[in-house]
Amino acid sequence: MELVIDRLSKHYKNKMAVDRVSLTLKEGVYGLLGANGSGKTTLMRMICGVLKPTSGEVKFNGIDVSEEKFRDLLGYLPQDFGYYPEFTAYDFLLYLSSLKGLTRQRAKDRTSELLKLVGLSDVAKKKIKSFSGGMKQRLGIAQALLNNPKILVLDEPTAGLDPNERVRFRNLISRLGKDRIVLLSTHIVSDVEYIASTILLMKNGQIIHKGPLEEIIRPIEGKVFECLVDCNTAEYLIANYPIINVREEKDKTFLRLVAEKAPCKEAKAVTAVLEDLYLYYFNKEANKSEQLYGIN
């Protein structure tokens, strides 16, 4: 099982949304991280055949994304999930099952199975317009799984989910990744950190890092510090270093930051985590210091 993305690009007049991305994905969960405008959604839409690339191609086991056979293998949850508000959850999934070519009995069985899987069995006969945002998102996840896809693409799948729902979702995706390719994008770093076997970091239309967690955070290992300092020292550090976190505490300020070496006597080196790397790359105030600390 192999999804090959070969030199995929998308141009919009004066903007290069995706710039010659090449990836080979096998079974497992891939977490796509990036700030708004980094090209994540454009990349995922091209992988799903919703958007035609300017150049490059996508193939799964030799099947091109433009072929009907590819769509039969694909499950997709877009960032803006569309639904019919007057439909019940049960009828909505039956309707989409017919569009995906499931037999009537298979559609009924699969619909009941998935509603239970995403925790919507008790509201199966309620209209979607009465659902909360999190419930609608769970229904979107269910529809993406109707045809038991070999490629599952989820764009911001945890948007609107509360912490308990996110834990349930993470456990579900971990199981699904054993026998299929799962690609998900999210702004919630912990979701990726817990379940992705491979992390893809996207910036300005390019994949700037890819690999397992321990490899991804290597550029900032030994460069993350925490300190509790007075106001004057805090102002100096904020003005001169990439800041990961700030917390005011009475007459002191707690800082978590990135530096080549301890920036002040109070600073202590701490273990780097994925959120440190993410905030470092996509914090606008930190960006000006990227070249200074050699993390490119």
For 90-126, how does the pLDDT look when each residue is reduced to its tens digit (9 = 90+)? 999 999 999 988 999 999 999 999 999 888 999 999 9
For 218-245, how does the pLDDT look when each residue is reduced to its tens digit (9 = 90+)? 888 999 999 999 999 999 999 999 899 9
Rounded distance, CA 260 to CA 124, Å? 55
CB of 190 closer than 8 Å to CB of 270: no
Rounded distance, CA 111 to CA 116, Å? 9
Rg (Cα) of the chain, in Å, rounded? 22
Query: Would you list the domain boundaries of the chain?
Result: 3-216, 219-287
CB of 277 closer than 8 Å to CB of 216: yes
Residue 127: pLDDT band (50, 70, 90) is: very high
Type of residue numbered 89:
A
CATH superfamily of 3-216: P-loop containing nucleotide triphosphate hydrolases (3.40.50.300)
